[in-house]
Each structure stands twice: as C-alpha cells, then as structure tokens.
Amino acid sequence: MRWGMVALVAVVVTLLVEPLLPMSQQQRERNIVSVEERHCFVLEANGNPVLYIQNLLSDWADWPLSVEGDSAACHTDTIEGCWADRFYGLPSCRGRVVIPDMSRAVDSVLRSVNANIKPFVEHQRSVIRRQEKKYTVMNEELDYYLEANNVTDEGYNTIATYATYVIKYKRRLTQALHVLDSLLPTDSLVLRRVCHNTVLLPDLDGRKRGSAPTQASDGQKGGSASAQSYVRIPCHDDASRSSLLSSRGRYRRIQTDDRKTPRGVCADFFARPQLDTAAYKAYAVRRDFPVFVYEGETKNGQREGHGIFTDRQGNYYNGMWTSGQRNGFGCAVDSTGKVRVGEWKDDRYLGQRLTYTEERIYGIDISRYQHDIGKKHYAIDWSKVRISHLGTISKKRVSGTVDYPVSFCFIKATEGITIRNNYFASDYAAARRQGIRVGCYHFFSTKSSAAEQARFFIQHARFNRGDMPPVLDVEPTDAQVRAMGGPEAMFNRIRTWMKAVEKHCGQRPILYVGQNFVNKYLGYAPDIKRDYQVWIARYGEYKPDVRLAFWQLCPDGRVKGIVGTVDINVFNGYRDQYDDFLERYTIR
C-alpha cells in the first residue's frame, strides 16, 4: 500500500513537473508546425454575404474581389504554430494547434468601419466604378491590338495572356459594382472577417500528396514550410478551450478536422508560437503594399535583362531592360490601356516593326503620276498588277519573297474644286474588272470651301456597291493651317466635307493624314479620331502608334504592270479582320 502511494505521488509529480522542463532542440522542432491561413472580408447585407474583399481599408478595387465566394478574394499567409495539449500534464493534443490570433488585430478596425459602414461602402463603390470604366477602355485597346495582330507577330502571346487577366479583373469589378448598385438604403450592412486554416505537414512517407504551402507574405513568418510535398489537413476553431488557454491574448487554438495527432509531433500545454509583432500590427490594414512590383533579372541593383514590371496605376511592361530602363523588345500596356509592342530605347517607345508576309493584306494608291512620268505617258497593265518591292526608304523585315496580290486600290478623283484626274474613270473600271476593291479619294485644298469641295468630289467620283469607303487626303503645311485659322478651324472644314460625302454615299469616309499631322493636330479633334477610320502615311521602319485602318508604308514601292514607283499600303489586320472591314464599311 505504501509503495502504491509512493508510485502514485511519483506519477503526479512527474505529470506536474515534466511539462515545466524546457524542451530539447529536437522536441522544439517537432512542436513547430506550419499553418496556411486563408482569410478575407465579407460584406453582408441583411445577414447574407454579397461581396468578398481581400483588403479592409485600402481601396477595394486595388485587390481581388469576388461575388461567387471567398476563395477568389482570399489572401494566403503561411504562419507558425505549435502543437498543443488541452490538459496540463496529459497527452491530450488530438490535433490541436496554437497560432497567433490575427483576428484581434482586425477587431478594432472592423468596429470602426462598421460604425460608419454605409458611407464607407459608398466610397468604395465610387472607386470601383472609376476603376471599372478604366479597365473597360483598357479591354477595348487590348481587343484592338489582338484583332490587328496574330500569333505570328512578336509579342502577341504576351499581350494575349495579359488581356486574359484584364478580362477577368474587369468582370470582377463589373460584378462587384452590380452588387453594390443593387443595395437598398434600408439594407443592414456589416463587414466580417472570414478565415480558413490548414495544417501543412511534411509528407515524409508518401501518405498523400498536397501542394506546397504558400510562402509567407507581408512580413509574416513562414515557419518550417519548404518547397516539398505536404499533407494538407483542414482545421476548425477549437471550441473546447480551457480558461488558461482562453486568456493567452494574442493566440488562439485550432484543431484538425480529423481530431488526430499526427505521428512524430511533440505537443506541449504551454505551446506559444513565435509572434511577428510588425506583421501582427499591419495584418488588418495592409496599407503598405508595393507601389510597383518587378520580377526579373537584375545587375548591380538595377533591372537588367528580361523582367516584368507592374504598378498600382495599371502600367505593365514585359520585356528587356538595360541599366534600369526599357531597351530592346518589350510589350507594354499603360494606365490608359494604350498597347505598345515593339522596340524601346532608353525608356522611349520606338514602335512596332512588322514582319511582312504573304498573309497580310496589301494595296496601292495611284493618281496621274503613275501614268505621266516626265514628258512620257504610260498605261497600267492591270492584268499583271502585283506588288514586287516594298521600297528602300526604310528597312523592312520581310519573310519570304515579295510577290503580293493587290487587294485594294485607292484612286485619286479630284482636288480642290477644279482639278480632276483624267485617268480616274479608266483606272477605276479596269481595276474593278480584275476583282480589285476600288476606292476614290479627294485631295483637300486649304483655300477652297469644304462644302464646294465635297460637291465637286461627289460629282466626279464613283460610289458603286462593294467599293471601298471614300477618302479625304489632308496634307497641309503648318503655314496653311495657320492661314485657315488654326487647327480647330481646319477640323471644322474637314467635318463639313466628311458629313456631306457620308450623306451622299452612305458610308463614313476615311481620313488620310501623315504621321506629323497625327502628332501635331489630330489631338484637337477627338471626335474625328474616335468616329472615323484613319489612313496614315509613315515611311519609317515602325508602324504608326495610333489606331488606323491602313498604313502607307512607302512611296517608292514597285508593282508589276505599273511603270515607276507606287505608294504601297498594308491593311491593319489579317484576312478575318479585312473581311469584317469589307462587310461593315464598303459602299452598299
């Protein structure tokens, strides 16, 4: 009996004293566990979740939003926890883990937000609305680029991938805006925090495979997580807390869903994981997310080689860098949605260098100068017309041999109110007989009435079913623009001509201008830039950096069947886009 009492006392003393003894290094390693914490905030209306948000106080539009569930909006951190026993001195873990209680850092912020929830949500709605409009424009610009290019063009796949991201992000903004617009003044709103925990247990013996844990972010500790296979064990909050554990302040206890203690771990009643104070304080707000993000090669602290840059305003660049500046080939989308794919030098965009292939759609434009060269007169053999050379003024990147069919031809009909092209009618008829799409153009005079010029053009041009849209060729000098009264007066005349011709033939004319005109003047007429097709003459090695229907790439090309040099043009797109252009814009 006496020895029994001694044994009992020994057991009791062991149970009371042993937990107080410090752990060995091996025991500490077996006590620590990595926990993946996925959390977001949910906006509830009348008790029903309507919108999931990743960030609480920063503008919601800067972060993932979701109306379909919290998974898309969740932020994931890997934090450090410790296996813990429920009862002092007894092996009573059953899958319990103590982790930092980050929700306590959020509670005061949530109380403040919920105290003024409706003005707060109204502010976020206005921010999302502005962002949604911005990404609508960006989506349109990306669509324009993708329609005018295909997979054979350098950089196409990069832009297509980015466009997929923009489409998804814009859809989330639109869905979130629809939800917020549908809220009623009488709705009861509240913001809550949603959190899901998963224990990440190293898969030492192939029990079952899981993905590697998400690495720690925003300064939080990554615990013992590493890039290997893991067993992922879902967890829930442990409702059976003792009074001692409940009073541990910044910590909370979770339990694996299977309520089992994994083999090989070391549990401790006094488990207390390491707490990153800075991460704890910043957890709820996350104000200090980066102004920009760069992922790629560096040298001496500068961007060097290939890298991807994004910033908070929506600017994006994927390409080559030298000494921290964009140099070489790269793909960019700025905050307005403008797409620039091509060559860069010292952070300045030079342009897109096309590769000319037989897949592109080529055409020419002609006047009397293709017939009268000096004192000699030449006829055009329309049965032999094919493009054989793209000129020598600038370098061209050509794949294969230049031997392209002429798909379209614009013929000068008139100039001012007195000048006619004597070869217009015969060239027009001969080109049509060869199956070439024909259009006619008018050379704009700065000294004549725009209305009279329109009447003169309509009188002498031809507008038959299937013809290309009419064209207004505008090539004034700076002095002529000033003499007309400046850019605004000039564009008023252009509008007069355009509207009169459109009323007559039923199609909006195309505006033909040079690159310098675009740079200096086109910005004065955003309506013309928006509402009318543009045909641009630019004889450099790069494609014009504006929206356009056609590009006149050289004035010194060669065409079989035509003596002398010829203006060569390329349609801004490929066969599908060209067929769509013909369907929409040719004369009915």
Residue 470 in contact with residue 501, Cβ under 8 Å? yes
The separation between CA 72 and the C-alpha centre of its own chain, rounded to angstroms, equals: 18
Handedness of CA 117, 120, 126, 131 (dihedral sign): negative
Both tokens of 27, joined, read: 């025991």
d(CA 231, CA 212): 9
Beta strand 48-53 pairing with 65-66: antiparallel
**475 labelled catalytic:** yes
Catalytic residue among 70, 85, 276, 365: 365
**365 labelled catalytic:** yes
> Which residue's structure tokens are 């602290």?
301
Both tokens of 421, joined, read: 């092209």
Mention every residue, 6+ apart, whose C-beta is less than 8 A from residue 166: 135, 138, 139, 142, 333
Distances from the Cα of 534 to the Cα of 509, 554, 557, angstroms: 9, 17, 21
Burial degree of 488 (CB within 10 A; 0-12, 13-18, 19+): exposed
Amino acid at 531: D
Mention every residue, 6+ apart, whose C-beta is less than 8 A from residue 431: 382, 409, 411, 438
Q: What is the SS3 assignment for 255?
A: strand
Mention every residue, 6+ apart, whose C-beta is less than 8 A from residue 467: 437, 438, 439, 440, 586, 587
Catalytic residue among 143, 311, 475, 502: 475
Handedness of CA 160, 407, 342, 170 (dihedral sign): negative
Active site (catalytic) residues: 365, 475
